[in-house]
Amino acid sequence: MIKIIINEQSSGRIHSFEMKGHADFAEHGKDLVCAGASAVSFGAVNAIIALTGETPDIQQGTDGGYLKVIFPEASDSDHDIQLIVKAMIVSLQTIEQDYGQHIKLTFKK
C-alpha cells in the first residue's frame, strides 16, 4: 500500500508530504495506482519548480518506494506553491476514492 502523510500547519498551510510503499495493484510496470500517484506527485513538484522558481527539499528512496517533499516557508511564491500542492492532494484523494485498498492519505497537524 502507498501511504501518504500530509503535514499541515494549524493555519492550513501544507508544510510537507511523504509517500512510502508500493501499491501492489499489479505487477511492476503495469501498476496503474503507482503510476497515477507517481505522476500526480512528481508532476506537482515539477510544476512548483517550473512555475515558481522555488525548489523544495526533495528526498527519494533508491527503490522508488519513497518520496518526501518539504516546501520552503516565507517564500514570495508560497500562495502558488500551496495551490499546486492542494491540487495534488485533490488528485491523490480521487485515486484513493477508487483504489483505497492500495493508497491511503493521512493528514497530520
Q: Which of 22, 28, 79, 102 is catalytic?
A: 22
Question: Is 34 a catalytic site residue?
Answer: yes
Could you confirm whether 22 is annotated as catalytic?
yes
Structural contact between residues 99 and 1, judged by C-beta atoms closer than 8 angstroms:
no
**Rounded distance between C-alpha atoms, residue 89 and residue 58, angstroms:** 17
Annotated catalytic residue: which of 15, 28, 34, 102?
Answer: 34
Exposure of 84 by Cβ count < 10 A (0-12 exposed, 13-18 middle, 19+ buried)?
A: buried
CA–CA gap between residue 7 and residue 22 (Å, rounded) = 20
Active site (catalytic) residues = 22, 34
